[in-house]
């Protein structure tokens, strides 16, 4: 059977091909799945997708009409998939329920320290042989407060690093993580966490109830010199409201690996095109903001685990088996 993979990155392609070699053939495409590219999948029983693929009602209708019966999503997140429509059409949808939490947690800290210590500005200067220290002063993390919004596996890994720095830990989640409590974390209300933290890092999934979790009101609660990091999902932050606060000179630094309108931008080369997204164009001009293109998960360890889980999801489907990774059918 030939499986069609959409949105496959260059570094990811050989891992997928090697993992599938003993079982099925996979045809890897660098284009993302949307209504324009969905007809390519005609005749393919299984399609393999990434988080920036569009699996809305229109795309799912095209896939089902073309003979697709399974969607194997290569990510934990699935907010890009209309699960109700998929179930109505009789499609099976599976995701990767977990992979290395350290990949994302470590990258979140990379963003935090890069904006704290002005690493990008410093590196740009030294390339021009400008070795001044003006404007490069950061601050110790030791003794300051880390506010961790979402304390699942990734949030816990982030908290362990913060604990290593000697930071006070505040957490907010629907359920307390015993491992975080052992680190000395205090669970508080979201408002208190935002008001008291010197560093706020987001590690919750994007759900209807977490859309714009960090909105204008939430941003107003934060300290003027806070560091904000989002390595989870772009929709957690109201970016227009964030830009408004940055224009007022607030925040020591902001590190974003995700953006609420990243589909159609991230993972693509747009360097020779006019930027049509005015909010993103303004965001990247702030000297205290660092934006990366959804790469927090992108380690050989994490991608390897994602690939292995994706292969197993496909093998389960062909064998008529069901695992906890299956989202549709729901039972």
Residue 221, Cβ density class (10 Å: 0-12 exposed, 13-18 middle, ≥19 buried): middle
From the candidates 74, 92, 203, 294, which is the catalytic residue? 294
Give the 3-state secondary structure percentages of the chain, helix then strand then coil, rounded to 5: 35, 15, 45
CB 81 within 8 A of CB 93: yes
Which one, of 138, 158, 139, 161, lies nearest residue 149 by Cα?
158
Residue 294 annotated as catalytic: yes
Q: CB within 8 A of 305, min separation 6: which ones? A: 96, 99, 100
- Using only C-alpha atoms, the chain has a radius of gyration, in whole angstroms, of 21
Residue 142 annotated as catalytic: no
From the candidates 45, 233, 250, 260, which is the catalytic residue? 233
CB 26 within 8 A of CB 45: no
End-to-end Cα, the chain, rounded Å: 26
Residue 44 annotated as catalytic: no
From the candidates 12, 45, 245, 262, which is the catalytic residue? 262
Report the catalytic residues: 233, 262, 294
């Amino acid at each position: 059977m030939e499986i069609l993979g959409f949105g496959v990155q260059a570094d990811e392609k050989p891992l997928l091909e090697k993992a599938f070699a003993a079982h099925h053939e996979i045809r890897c495409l660098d284009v993302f799945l949307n209504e324009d590219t969905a007809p390519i999948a005609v005749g393919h029983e299984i399609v393999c997708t990434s988080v920036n693929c569009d699996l809305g009602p229109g795309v799912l209708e095209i896939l089902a009409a073309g003979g697709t019966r399974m969607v194997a999503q290569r990510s934990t997140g699935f907010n890009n998939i209309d699960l109700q429509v998929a179930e109505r059409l009789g499609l099976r949808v599976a995701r990767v329920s977990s992979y290395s939490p350290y990949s994302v947690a470590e990258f979140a800290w990379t963003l935090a320290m890069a904006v704290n210590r002005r690493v990008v500005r410093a590196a740009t200067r030294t390339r021009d042989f400008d070795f001044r220290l003006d404007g490069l002063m950061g601050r110790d993390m030791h003794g300051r407060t880390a506010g961790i919004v979402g304390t699942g596996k990734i949030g816990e890994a982030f908290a362990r690093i913060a604990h290593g720095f000697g930071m006070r830990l505040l957490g907010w989640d629907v359920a307390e993580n015993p491992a975080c409590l052992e680190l000395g974390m205090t669970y508080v209300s979201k408002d208190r966490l935002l008001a008291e933290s010197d560093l706020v890092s987001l590690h919750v999934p994007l759900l209807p109830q977490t859309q714009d979790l960090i909105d204008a009101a939430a941003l107003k609660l934060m300290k003027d010199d806070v560091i904000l990091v989002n390595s989870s999902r772009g929709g957690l932050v109201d970016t227009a409201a964030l830009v408004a606060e940055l224009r007022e000179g607030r925040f020591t630094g902001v590190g974003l690996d995700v953006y609420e309108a990243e589909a159609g931008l991230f993972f693509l080369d747009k360097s020779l095109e006019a930027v049509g997204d005015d909010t993103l164009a303004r965001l990247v001009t702030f000297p205290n903001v660092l934006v990366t293109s959804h790469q927090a998960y992108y380690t050989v360890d994490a991608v390897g685990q994602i690939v292995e889980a994706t292969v197993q999801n496909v093998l389960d489907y062909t064998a008529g088996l069901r695992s906890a990774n299956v989202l549709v059918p729901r039972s």
